[in-house]
Amino acid sequence: QIGAGGRGLVVITSHFGAWEVGARALHRFGRPVHLVMAREANPTVEGFQRSWRERFGLRVIHSETSIFSSLNMIQALRRGEIVALQLDRAAGDQVTREIEFFGRPTPFQVGPFVLARLAGVPIWPVFVARLPGGRYRLLPEGLRTIPRDAGEAGTRAVMEDVVRSFERHVREDPYQWFQFRPFWRQ
């Protein structure tokens, strides 16, 4: 069961379909939801998005604003809250691992997986597809866990599994993936 026993939950999503609609659906679990993301480059866009998220009760942890942002995420998880991160936006100084994606080694951030392992909480990959007529379809995957003593190999195995799930969704409906910059290394 999702978030059973008062445990926190790391939700992994991507820029596939309408991920923010999926984040709103997480309130059904009756727990605070934190979206981990970088600030928008445009302050007007940042303000609009902040007001939209606040209207739906979503909290934001800005990943690049403090060396303590990881600590804030772990504390939220230990309080039994939900922390949602995007799989397909590795940037700057984030630690990544090369995982095969559409036949090419591709950098994916390891942070969400290490976060779940350190906090001792499950990982739930969830994607949201846009449908005609302004509707959406939630595409939840099964829960994954990484034991605290798993180390690099155990963490990588779960990363590869989640990336395969993401690849399957993109392969089935490529126009749902919003990727506007080079994704693979040249």
Per-residue pLDDT of the chain (186 residues; tens, 9 = 90+): 555 567 899 999 888 877 777 777 777 777 888 877 766 667 776 677 777 677 666 777 666 655 667 788 888 899 999 998 888 876 666 788 899 999 999 989 898 999 999 999 999 999 989 889 988 888 999 999 999 899 899 999 999 999 999 999 999 999 988 877 777 776
Q: Do the Cβ atoms of 60 and 50 come closer than 8 Å? A: yes
pLDDT of residue 125: 94
Residue-level pLDDT at 142: 93
pLDDT at 95: 80
What is the pLDDT at residue 66?
Answer: 59
Non-local (6+) Cβ contacts of 36 within 8 A are: 60, 61, 63, 69, 73, 83, 84, 85, 86
User: Residue 59's closest CA among 95, 67, 75, 94?
Assistant: 75
